[in-house]
Amino acid sequence: MREGTVTLTRREDYVAPSHWIRSVDLTFELEPAKTLVISRMQVEPNADRPGEPLRLDGEDITLTRVLVNGNSVSFHFDAGQLVLEKLPAEPFALEIRNTCAPGKNTQLSGLYTSGGGFFTQCEAQGFRRITYFADRPDVMAVFKVTLRADAKLYPMLLSNGNLVESGELPKGRHYAVWSDPHPKPSYLFALVAADLVCREQKIRTRSGQDHTLQVYVRAGDLDKTEHAMNSLIASIAWDEARFGLKLDLERFMIVAVSDFNMGAMENKGLNIFNTKFVLASPATATDIDFGNVESVVGHEYFHNWTGNRITCRDWFQLSLKEGLTVYRDQEFSQDMAGVASARAVKRIEDVRQLRQSQYPEDAGPMAHPVRPDQYQAIDNFYTATVYDKGAEVVRMMATLVGRAGFRKGMDLYFARHDGQAVTCDDFAQAIADANHGSALAERLDTFKHWYAQAGTPRLKAEGSFDADTGRYTLTLSQHTPATPGQPLKQPFVIPVAMGLLDAAGQPITGTDRVLVLDTASQSWTFDGLTAAPVPSLLRGFSAPVILEWDASEAELFTLLGHDTDAFNRWEAGQRLAVQRLLAAVRQGGDLVLDEAFVSALRSVLNDPALDAAFKELVLTLPSEGYLAERMAEAGEPIDPQKIHAARESMRAQLARSLHADWVTAWEQNSQTGGYRPDPVSCGRRALANLALNMLVLDGVAHGEPLWQGKALQRFKDAGNMTDRLGALAALVHGRSSLAGAALERFHAMFSGEALVIDKWFALQATAPEQDGQVFAQIKVLARHPDYSLRNPNRARSLLLTMTQLNPGAFHRADGAGYAFWADKVQEVDGFNPQLASRMARALDRWRALAEPFRSHARTAIERIAAKTDLSGDTREIVTRALA
Ligand code: PHE
Ligand code: ZN
């Protein structure tokens, strides 16, 4: 993708392929410097497009031979594609030989080496970096793969499907032949040749089928694979129980690799994972890591049906598989969490994530619909919008047709489209057709605006109560701001789950409903009320909108204290905090916390009926990034330093005024016994860590050593990584003088554990900024011998962590944070454009910044844009940012 010319691909230009490739027989002679690839394909002209040339994609590979039905033919290259003309009108055999250089593939797309082994990554367009092919998802072929490699260096030879043959070869080499019976697009191809060990488990499913499950890792990591295996087993059981979807392979493999651009990849039968989302042991992984492993293992497994059995017609339909599969993994995690309160915690975390990453995207230069209309580099569209907003779109459909209706819709989707490459429209149609007369089917065309229109809708709510008639009228109206290329928006279909509470916070019977707004504005009435009710709107976050509701403080306190919907209880607390924080930012000067707010939080913290996990969420202040977006929504320039100062001030005051309550929370939750990553113990550890963090913060502020000492002791004695890292974070983030030695000790303890060293960097990169010290330390760490930009996890641990999670350190009035960032983006772009273009997103929202941040940001982006050999990936990001 290093070509100078930028081409735009448009959704409306889709045409079916000129030829189908029905089968591929691949042989690999694996060597890091030069790998030989022989591809023998059965090609069938598409009867709808007779006589057209066959165009095959290829990138950074060397062609050595082309044969059609065994004879050499003429060919030429056009725009990077290999073009074959005057081909037979009947099906024919095509043989291609080429070489590639996996050892030099620093982009980690295609065939590359990592830790002395060979791995592949083909989504979206990596297969063309392995061999010439119709590298598009609507061309589906049956693959047979022969791998030949040195037997000592690469004892494990894996590919998709089933192992059909293996054996020795001369000169210390060996081979394996794999065959995958399911036709698949090239992006789902995978191979692995490496020195790995595996955890294996045989299972028999509910329907009585036997399967072999394997998790492959490097030799020292076997003791960290149990949780991934259990998560896989749980995923298989869940998909069968919830959606009637069975594993369709005898063998299912997961392979961990430490150099990986993304989280994980759903290659048919051979999922390849970033080590971060496979390896977990109590000593090295936190509760969050355990949760992530479960959800990513689930996500990739669920792709076997939603992605692999039914795939995307073209990459504009990416959310067809990603939005749906994120929805499925979110549901899986909720079901695994079990009880309602734990499900709500997961929902709050998912929404927080959506608002933290997708809302800014939808408000910035990269705003695009869930089903984009155009792209320069498809890699840039693996976004929060396609994934997380896409999942919300599926969730709204499920809300509109009900749980049973959604299952019927999924059944119809598979009945219609199994084995096909289809579109988002096909999915929505199936859900609607299975639910005639439903709230979705009645307004399907309007609903599909969610696929077509970018931008986050503003949902305005106004209530009025008529004491004479006892009638409450709720008026909902919607408005969506313009986004690049889309000045005007049609109304969306917005399901609004709601209910009314009385002034004492008790639910008013018969008022729980799901209102469906599908026009610019609409009113609903509730009769028979004796007093003005408190509305609880958008329960469970029933639509991905911004709720503009002018709630009184009293209403918010009522919701926080009493709502039956846990999401809205949390949301009310966040609103109360946001109002105070933004008022402080606007007025300047000191933030003085009122007793009403403090005592409401105190009640939550001390409420024996609430889960610790929920308390931790309520007591965690909205992030600086979230606060920044709220300012931008109100049309006010973002001053990240003022936001940082206000939030730090509020944290310090909560640390002080709730001191006794934090002590109680610590005492009640800090001992969780033997490690188990279940929701109750995870919640208790999270709350204990927050309490410790606050107590250390307060101790440092007031020169009291007690809690710093306790934190250090906890750090030393901890029986698991969650407790250990939590205690270390309390010291580092609280700026305790004990932090330095503890950091050193931590580094020495885990020097051989790459994923833990990533945490060591990330922890320091998230320390609350004070007087530029944190940024200075980040720059020092960037020169640490353990730091490297080549490994994506390590690169992200410092840089993306700073730009995404530490606005106070990144956004400096002198612009030094941006300059540092620009240097690193340029450097990474030279060898890994996908990683660089992700990093380049950090200043998407530069136009919303106040001065002097805004000018410095522009200068830094312009500097990146000025790099002459910038990759197409990064160029698309900076061009859009500056447009
Ligand atoms: N398809 C992968 C997933 O969401 C993500 C991915 C995309 C991985 C591109 C690698 C490259 O599960
Ligand atoms: Zn996915």
Whose Cα sits closest to atom 2 in ligand 1? 265
**What residues are paired with 191 via a beta bridge?**
159
* Active-site option among 59, 294, 300, 624: 300
pLDDT tens-digit profile of 139-159?
Answer: 999 999 999 999 999 999 999
Which bound ligand lies closest to the C-alpha atom of 137?
A: 1
Judge whether 734 lies within some domain. Answer: no
- Average the pLDDT over 23-47 and give the result: 98
For ligand 1, mutation pick of 112, 330, 382 (most atoms within 8 Å of CB): 382
The answer to whether the CB of 322 is under 6 A from ligand 1 is: yes
Distance 261 CA to ligand 1 centre (A): 9
Distance 300 CA to ligand 1 centre (A): 9
CA-based nearest residue to 52, from 83, 22, 21: 83
Residue 5 has pLDDT above 80, yes or no: no
Please tell me whether residues 433 and 518 are part of one structural domain: no
**Is residue 811 a contact partner of residue 640, using CB atoms and an 8 Å limit?**
yes
Whose Cα sits closest to atom 1 in ligand 1? 265
The answer to whether the CB of 299 is under 6 A from ligand 1 is: yes
The answer to whether the CB of 123 is under 6 A from ligand 1 is: yes
Please tell me whether residues 26 and 171 are part of one structural domain: yes
Which of 149, 175, 194 terminates a domain? The answer is 194
Please tell me whether residues 405 and 472 are part of one structural domain: no
E-assigned strand segments in 46-186? 54-57, 62-68, 71-72, 75-78, 81-84, 92-100, 110-114, 117-121, 140-150, 156-159, 162-169, 173-185
Whose Cα sits closest to atom 3 in ligand 1? 265
Ligand 1 atom showing the smallest separation from residue 126 Cα: 11
The answer to whether the CB of 128 is under 6 A from ligand 1 is: no
What is the band of 317 on the pLDDT scale with cuts at 50, 70, 90? very high
- The interaxial angle of helices 659-669 and 595-606, nearest 10 deg, is 10
**Is residue 835 a contact partner of residue 792, using CB atoms and an 8 Å limit?**
yes
Please tell me whether residues 433 and 328 are part of one structural domain: yes
Please tell me whether residues 441 and 464 are part of one structural domain: no
Q: Is 287 exposed, middle or buried (0-12, 13-18, 19+ CB in 10 A)?
A: buried
d(CA 583, CA 591): 8
Residue 6 has pLDDT above 80, yes or no: no
Distance 265 CA to ligand 1 centre (A): 5
Distance 183 CA to ligand 1 centre (A): 19
The answer to whether the CB of 328 is under 6 A from ligand 1 is: no
How many domains does the chain contain in total? 3
What is the band of 2 on the pLDDT scale with cuts at 50, 70, 90? very low
Please tell me whether residues 159 and 24 are part of one structural domain: yes
The answer to whether the CB of 388 is under 6 A from ligand 1 is: no
Whose Cα sits closest to atom 11 in ligand 1? 123
Domain residues for the domain of 399 are 310-383+390-447
Residue 25 has pLDDT above 60, yes or no: yes
- Average the pLDDT over 78-106 and give the result: 97
* CATH number assigned to the domain comprising residue 346: 1.10.390.10
Please tell me whether residues 150 and 31 are part of one structural domain: yes
Q: What are phi and psi of 40, to 5 degrees?
A: -115, 115
**What residues are paired with 272 via a beta bridge?**
255, 265
Judge whether 475 lies within some domain. Answer: yes
User: Omega before 181 cis (within 30°)?
Assistant: no
Ligand 1 atom showing the smallest separation from residue 300 Cα: 12
- Is residue 358 classed as helix, strand or coil in its secondary structure? helix
- Average the pLDDT over 239-243 and give the result: 98
Residue 4 has pLDDT above 70, yes or no: no
Provide the pLDDT for residue 590.
85
- Is residue 209 classed as helix, strand or coil in its secondary structure? coil
Please tell me whether residues 68 and 114 are part of one structural domain: yes
Pinpoint the alpha helices (H) of 563-639: 566-587, 595-606, 612-619, 624-633
The answer to whether the CB of 459 is under 6 A from ligand 1 is: no
Distance 262 CA to ligand 1 centre (A): 6
Residue 718 has pLDDT above 60, yes or no: yes
Which bound ligand lies closest to the C-alpha atom of 267?
A: 1
For ligand 1, mutation pick of 127, 129, 266 (most atoms within 8 Å of CB): 266
* CATH number assigned to the domain comprising residue 181: 2.60.40.1730
Distance 123 CA to ligand 1 centre (A): 6
Judge whether 739 lies within some domain. Answer: no
Judge whether 64 lies within some domain. Answer: yes
d(CA 531, CA 152): 80
Provide the pLDDT for residue 588.
85
Q: Which residues surround ligand 2, an ion (CB under 5 A)?
A: 322, 325
What is the band of 3 on the pLDDT scale with cuts at 50, 70, 90? very low
Which of 522, 550, 578 terminates a domain? The answer is 550
Distance 188 CA to ligand 2 centre (A): 12
Please tell me whether residues 426 and 339 are part of one structural domain: yes
- Average the pLDDT over 216-225 and give the result: 98
The answer to whether the CB of 265 is under 6 A from ligand 1 is: yes
ipTM of this complex prediction, to 2 decimal places: 0.99
Judge whether 179 lies within some domain. Answer: yes
Distance 232 CA to ligand 1 centre (A): 18
* CATH number assigned to the domain comprising residue 518: 2.60.40.1840
- Average the pLDDT over 835-861 and give the result: 98
pLDDT tens-digit profile of 629-640?
Answer: 999 999 999 999
pLDDT tens-digit profile of 726-744?
Answer: 999 999 999 999 999 999 9
Token pair in block for residue 401: 């047709």
Whose Cα sits closest to atom 5 in ligand 1? 265
Judge whether 327 lies within some domain. Answer: yes
Judge whether 79 lies within some domain. Answer: yes
pLDDT tens-digit profile of 423-437?
Answer: 999 999 999 999 999
Please tell me whether residues 443 and 471 are part of one structural domain: no
d(CA 583, CA 569): 22
What is the band of 206 on the pLDDT scale with cuts at 50, 70, 90? confident
Please tell me whether residues 468 and 330 are part of one structural domain: no
Judge whether 874 lies within some domain. Answer: no
Annotated active-site residue 876? The verdict is: no
356-to-214, 626, 630, 805 alpha-carbon distances in Å: 35, 6, 11, 10
Please tell me whether residues 410 and 520 are part of one structural domain: no
Ligand 1 atom showing the smallest separation from residue 326 Cα: 4
Whose Cα sits closest to atom 7 in ligand 1? 123
Direct distance between the N- and C-terminal alpha carbons of the chain, in angstroms, rounded to an integer: 22
Which of 194, 229, 264 terminates a domain? The answer is 194
Average pLDDT, the chain: 98
- Average the pLDDT over 388-402 and give the result: 99
pLDDT tens-digit profile of 602-620?
Answer: 999 999 999 999 999 999 9
The answer to whether the CB of 262 is under 6 A from ligand 1 is: yes
